């Protein structure tokens, strides 16, 4: 089926693009489904499970590292702490500008 896109107006062209992208997504999902079936069949034939081969975590999930204990405390407000990771808090920068050293702010 050949479509002469030169004769399509803006709305028709957008509709065609939308339908083509939708069909492309359908084809991708079908291909992924078939591949998933092949992988599971191969694992079953060899006597393994998905978790045996790839571990307990599924692909795409990040491992949580948990919270980190604070290393620094604001002397003016003891409830404000910082772990030393990420962007420095304003109170930490202000204390350094005031002449304090990092070891002075350490817990």
Q: Write down the pLDDT at residue 34.
A: 96
Per-residue pLDDT of the chain (107 residues; tens, 9 = 90+): 688 889 899 999 999 999 999 999 999 999 999 999 999 999 999 999 888 888 876 555 666 677 889 999 998 888 999 999 999 999 999 999 999 998 888 98
Q: Write down the pLDDT at residue 97.
A: 93
Q: Is the dihedral of CA 6, 11, 15, 18 positive or negative?
A: positive
Q: Are 91 and 76 in contact (CB under 8 A)?
A: yes
């Amino acid at each position: 089926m050949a479509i002469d896109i030169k004769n399509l107006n803006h709305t028709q062209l957008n509709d065609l693009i939308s339908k083509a992208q939708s069909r492309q997504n359908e084809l991708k999902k079908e291909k992924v489904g078939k591949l998933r079936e092949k992988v599971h069949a191969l694992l079953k034939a060899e006597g393994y499970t998905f978790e045996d081969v790839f571990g307990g975590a599924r692909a795409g999930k990040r491992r949580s590292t948990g919270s980190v204990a604070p290393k620094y405390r604001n002397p003016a407000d003891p409830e404000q702490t910082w772990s030393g990771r990420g962007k420095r808090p304003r109170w930490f920068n202000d204390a350094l500008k005031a002449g304090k050293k990092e070891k002075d702010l350490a817990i």
